[in-house]
Chain A
Amino acid sequence: MSESSSSFGSFPVKRGLAEMLKGGVIMDVVTPEQAKIAEDAGACAVMALERVPADIRRDGGVARMSDPEMIQGIQGAVSIPVMAKARIGHFVEAQILQSLGVDFIDESEVLTPADEAHHIDKFKFVVPFVCGATNLGEALRRISEGACMIRSKGEAGTGNVVEAVRHLRSILGDIRKIGTADTAELFEWAKRLQAPLPLVQEIAQTGKLPVPLFCAGGLATPADAALAMQLGAEAVFVGSGIFKSDHPAPRAKAIVEATTHFDNPDILAKVSRGLGAPMTGIGMDEINQRYAERGW
């Protein structure tokens, strides 16, 4: 019962927070005021960043970790968990975020990658990490580096759910196939996915990813959130979709309620009413930079 027997930052402790966020909505916010709106609406966490992906996409240039002052402003404004993004491979940005006491670090393709070959060694950190993935192999490589949560990448800042659906289906479809594979086939699966064999074997046994699987990238409406949940996501990230819409507060609340009652069309119909215009959104053939292609 002494303090000395306590351990901090172990995998179960880090993964535990991801478990607690299941069924919820994590919202991108750029100011303390937006963070309050998100908390009031029932967000289970906020992602503090300087620009939402739609603006990063519009502005171009290099996107980096947010100013610590801005992150601390948001930490001071809300009592729910605060996440923040580090560039892929930029372990010093991650060290800084850990020092600030953020609750989760998103090693994110939405920011400009800092390393074209290596992701961050996430086992070295006490704070848990979430990473994006477009397919099961990518998800398992991130987990083998210490990620405690996977989010399907989708295509951030587009307001278009099509890529999120593609990535979720790819990840969950392969998990289902592995569930019916025999033991000899698992070696081939590991090779094909370029993923560690023990993780593939674990999926064959449990039928699920070893960490929670959330959905991100292009969700803009309550129906989008419910679609991700019905496809098998365990929670959703909504980025530009809320604060780039006409009426962020009611839309945020509606997305939370839709995520909770994702399998009840009557409630979905009720909460979807009268929310004003969603973010405009863009088609995949209109964009010149696919963030989902970043990460290896």
Chain B
Amino acid sequence: MELEGLDGLILPGGESTTMSNLLRAFDFVEPLRRFVVSGRPVFGTCAGMILLSERILDGRSDQIALASCGIVSRRNGYGRQVDSFETDIEVAGMCDPFHAIFIRAPRIEETSSEVTVLARHDGCPVLVREGNVLAASFHPELTDDDRIHRLFAHMVRDAKSQDEFPDEAR
């Protein structure tokens, strides 16, 4: 299987309904779910975040929500492409603002108590973490700033070292 041997997984942006269809057509839903449950870190951006959500609003009824992160996402919650925007956000633990690009972005409408909000825009969470799942409603992959990717790389390294040296965990 394509997920074998991976220490972490990024679910990038794209069209979430298309991803949902293809995951089902090629029997990839359960392997993906098992990957997340295994505790290996997963990072979803935009459509990837929708996929990881507990619940999806304004989605198709058959759309897959892996329920790996305690958030409720509203598809296209910020509007159509003409409403897409870029802006600076403050991210917890980062000194300088992060320049974030939102493309037909999903809006995080609710977060469960297990979810840590790492960044907000206009009061709305835009970067969240629950355990080994990281999710962003914007696209860090569209800018040259790699700080959020580094954060994820750290999560993968930490998870791997805990795996290899379980006695040293905590």
Would you call B82 and A16 a contact (CB within 8 A)? Answer: no
A230 contact set on B, CB distance < 8 A: none
B80 at the interface (CB under 8 A from A): yes
A20 B22 Cβ-Cβ under 8 A: no
Known interface pairs A20-B46, A79-B75. Does A44 touch B15 (Cβ–Cβ under 8 Å)?
A: yes
Which residues of A in the span 1-46 have a Cβ within 8 Å of any Cβ on B? 1, 3, 5-10, 12-14, 16-17, 19-24, 39-45
Judge whether A17 and B15 touch: CB under 8 Å: no
Least Cβ–Cβ distance between A200 and chain B, in angstroms:
22
A81 near B: Cβ within 8 Å? yes
Best-buried of A16, A24, A127 by chain B (most CB within 10 Å): A16
In the complex, what residue of chain B is closest to A128 when comparing beta carbons? Answer: B81
Asked if A50 is at the interface (CB within 8 A of a chain B CB), the reply is: no
For chain A, residues 108 to 140, give those with C-beta under 8 angstroms from any C-beta of chain B: 126-128
Q: How far is the CA of A45 from the CA of B101 in the complex (A)?
A: 20
Give A190 Cβ to nearest chain B Cβ, in Å.
26
Residues of A contacting B47 with CB < 8 Å?
Answer: 20
Partner of A13 from the list B21, B75, B101, B120 (CB cut-off 8 Å) is B101
Please state if A39 and B103 are interface contacts (CB–CB under 8 Å). no
Is the CB of B18 closer than 8 A to any CB of chain A? yes
Residues of B near A17 (CB, < 8 A) are 81, 84, 103-104
A7 near B87: Cβ-Cβ < 8 Å: yes
Report the nearest A residue to B84, measured CB to CB.
A13
> Which of A1, A5, A14, A42 is the one whose CB lies under 8 Å from B22?
A42
- In this complex, what residue of A is CB-closest to B99? A12
Task: Evaluate contact between A20 and B82: CB separation under 8 angstroms.
Answer: no
B101: A residues at CB distance < 8 A: 12-13, 16
**Cα A7 to Cα B82 with chains together (Å):** 11
B83 at interface by CB-CB < 8 Å: yes
Whole-angstrom distance between the alpha carbons of A80 and B20 in the complex? 13
Q: State A128–B82 Cα separation when bound (angstroms).
A: 8
A256 close to B (CB within 8 Å): yes
Q: Which residues of A contact B21 (CB under 8 A)?
A: 40-42, 253, 256
Give Cα A80–Cα B60 distance, bound, in whole angstroms: 10
- With A12-B86, A79-B58, A79-B59 as contacts: A44 and B120 at CB distance below 8 Å: no
Choose among B22, B60, B75 the residue that contacts A256 (Cβ–Cβ < 8 A): B22
Scan residues 3-23 of chain B and give those whose CB is less than 8 A from a CB of chain A.
13-15, 17-18, 21-22
Say yes or no for B139: interface residue by CB 8 A criterion.
Answer: yes
**Contact across chains for B85 and A7 when beta carbons are under 8 A apart:** yes
Decide if B115 is an interface residue (CB 8 Å cutoff): no
Closest 8 A/B residue pairs (Cβ): A103-B81, A42-B21, A6-B87, A44-B15, A16-B103, A6-B85, A42-B18, A101-B80
* Residues in chain B within 8 A of chain A (CB atoms): 13-15, 17-18, 21-22, 25-26, 46-47, 58-60, 75-76, 80-90, 101-104, 120-122, 139, 142-143
A-B contact pairs, 21 of them (CB 8 A): A1-B121, A1-B122, A6-B85, A7-B86, A8-B83, A13-B101, A13-B102, A19-B13, A19-B139, A20-B15, A20-B46, A23-B14, A24-B18, A42-B21, A44-B18, A79-B17, A80-B15, A81-B15, A256-B18, A256-B21, A257-B22
